[in-house]
Amino acid sequence: MEKRTLFSRSEMLQMNSERLKERGVKIEEIAEVAYAQQSKWTDVISRQDCIDSVEKILSLRDTFHILQLGAEIDRLTETGEIKGPIRDVLNADLGLFGIDELFGLELAGIYGTIGKTNFGDIDVNKPEVIERLNTAGKGDKKECHTFMDDIVGAIAAAASTRVAQIINETEARKDPRYKEIKLDFDV
C-alpha cells in the first residue's frame, strides 16, 4: 500500500474523531469542558462555538501528530506491547512522568500562552471527561489513558482559548481603523 505522511484537514479531523471515539471520548464532551471554562468570563459564547473550535483544532496537523501518537502509546501500553521499565511507569500513570503533560502543554498553546494556563486549570481540577479518563486509567480494568486525559484536556483548553481569541478579534474589528488582511491559511 502507498505510504502517506500528509493528509488533508478533513481527513485529519475524521481520523482524530475516530481515534477519540475508539478511546471512548466524544467531541461534545470536550466542547463542554471548553464551554464551562470560558463561559465564566463571557456570556457571548455558545456550546456550538465550542464544538466548532474543537473540530477546527482536530483538523490541525500538530494536533493530528500529538493525538495519534499519544493514543497509540496508550493502546500499546494496554496490550502490553510497550516493553521495558517505561511500561510500568505508563501503566501506573506516574505523577512525576510528565511527558503526557508536555504533549498537553504543546497542544494547549496553539492559540496563545493563555491556553497553557487554561490547560493547567483543567489538569488540576479535572472536569467531567478528564476525571473519567483519569479514574479509568488508574483502575483495575487495564485501561491506559495516561496520554489521552492530557490530550483531551489540552484540546478543551485550546478550544476555550480560540473562542476567547475570536471574541477579542470581533471586538477589535469594531474599531473603524481596523484593516483586514487576507490570510492564506484557515486557522
Quick check: 139 and 17 in contact, CB under 8 A? no
d(CA 144, CA 72): 10
Binder of Mg ion out of 100, 116, 143, 159 (CB under 5 A) = 100
d(CA 133, CA 141): 12
d(CA 67, CA 153): 12
Least gap, CB of 150 to Mg ion (angstroms): 4
Q: Which triple of cell numbers denotes residue 129?
A: 471527561
Q: Does 149 bind Mg ion (CB under 5 A)?
A: yes
Q: Does 150 bind Mg ion (CB under 5 A)?
A: yes
32 or 150: CB nearest Mg ion: 150
Task: Name the amino acid, one letter, at 68.
Answer: Q
Binding to Mg ion by CB under 5 A, coded x per residue (else -) over 46-65, reads --------------------
d(CA 11, CA 29): 21
Only one of the segments 10-18, 43-51, 97-105, 117-125 lies at the binding site for Mg ion (rule: CB under 5 A); that segment is 97-105
Q: Does 123 bind Mg ion (CB under 5 A)?
A: no
| Site residues for Mg ion per CB under 5 A | 100, 146, 149-150
